[in-house]
A and B are shown apart, each in its own frame.
Chain A
Amino acid sequence: MSEAVAENRVAVATQRQLIWWRFRKHKLALISAGIVLAFYLVAAFADSIAYTEPFDTQAARSYIPPQPIRWFDANGNFHPQVFALKGKRDPRTFKLAYAPDPNEPRDVVLFAHGYGYKLFGLFPTDRHLLGVSDGKPQDALFLLGTDQLGRDVFSRLVLATQTSLTIGLVGVAMSLLLGVLLGGISGLHGGWLDLGIQRLIEILRSIPTIPLWMGLAAAVPNTWSSQRVYFAITIIISLIGWTELARVVRGRFLALREEDFITAAELCGASRLRIIFKHMVPSFLSHIIAAVSLALPAMIISETTLSFLGLGLRPPAISWGVLLQDAQNLQTLGLAPWLLVVALPVIVVILAFNFLGDGLRDAADPYG
Chain B
Amino acid sequence: MLAYLARRMLLAAITIWAITAVTFIILKLPPVDFVDAYVAQASASGASISAAEAEALRAAYGLNEPYIVQYLKWLNLVAHGDFGRSFEYGRPVTEVIGDRLWLTVLLSLGAITVTWTLALPIGIYSAVRQYSVGDYIFTFVGFIGLAVPSFLLALIVMYFGLRFFNMSVGGLFSSDFALAPWSWAKVWDLIKHLPVPMLILALPGIAQLVRIMRANLLDELRRPYVMTARARGLPERRVILKYPVRAALNPFASTIGYLLPYTVSGSIIISIVLSLPTVGPLLLRSLISQDMLLASTTILMLGILTVIGTLVSDLLLMWIDPRIRLGQLK
Contacts and interface: CB of A to CB of B under 8 A. Distances in A.
Contacts of A305: 149-151, 269
A311 B287 contact: yes
A101 to B, nearest CB: 29
A304 interface: yes
Given A309-B284, A334-B162, A347-B148, A211 B265 contact: yes
Interface string A342-368: 010011001100110000000000000
A264 B17 CA distance: 45
A212 B298 CA distance: 10
A199 B13 CA distance: 12
A2 interface: no
Interface string B44-82: 000000000000000000000000000000000000000
B268 A207 contact: no
A215 B265 contact: no
Contacts of A324: 151-152, 155
Nearest to B22: A212
Interface stretch (B25-33, B83-91, B176-184, B223-231): B25-33
Nearest to B204: A301
A258 to B, nearest CB: 18
A259 interface: no
Contacts of B257: 205-206
A354 B287 contact: no
A354 B147 contact: yes
A216 B26 CA distance: 6
Chain B contact residues, majority secondary structure? helix
B96 interface: no
Contacts of B299: 211-212, 215
Nearest to A355: B143
A199 B11 CA distance: 8
B29 A208 contact: no
Residue from the set A203, A221, A328, A340 with the largest chain B CB neighbour count within 10 Å? A203
A308 B151 contact: yes
A267 interface: no
Contact of B283 (A214, A301, A328): A214
B272 to A, nearest CB: 6
B206 interface: no
Contact of A354 (B146, B296, B307): B146
Nearest to B23: A215
B142 to A, nearest CB: 10
A161 B261 CA distance: 29
A203 B284 CA distance: 24
A329 B158 CA distance: 10
B307 to A, nearest CB: 6
A327 interface: yes
B93 interface: no
B266 A203 contact: no
A343 B287 contact: no
Contacts of B269: 210, 305, 309
Contact of A327 (B155, B283, B287): B155
B259 to A, nearest CB: 11
A309 B283 CA distance: 11
A215 B156 contact: no
Contacts of B310: 206
B159 interface: yes
A203 B152 contact: no
Contact of B287 (A215, A346, A351): A215
A355 B211 CA distance: 13
A214 B284 contact: yes
B303 interface: yes
Contact of A207 (B11, B18, B158): B18
B216 interface: no
Interface in A177-215: 199, 202-203, 205-212, 214-215
A100 interface: no
B29 A215 contact: yes
Interface in B177-209: none
A346 B152 contact: yes
Given A218-B29, A308-B151, A310-B288, 10 more contacts: A206-B258, A207-B15, A214-B284, A215-B299, A309-B269, A309-B272, A311-B288, A337-B163, A343-B152, A346-B152
13 contacts: A203-B15, A206-B306, A211-B264, A211-B298, A211-B299, A214-B284, A218-B29, A218-B288, A309-B269, A324-B152, A337-B159, A343-B156, A347-B152
Interface of B: 11, 14-15, 18-19, 22-23, 26, 29-31, 143-144, 146-152, 155-156, 158-159, 162-163, 257-258, 260-262, 264-266, 268-269, 272-273, 283-284, 287-288, 290, 295-296, 298-299, 302-303, 306-307, 310
The 10 closest A-B pairs by CB, nearest first: A210-B265, A219-B29, A218-B287, A215-B26, A208-B264, A350-B147, A208-B261, A351-B147, A208-B265, A301-B149
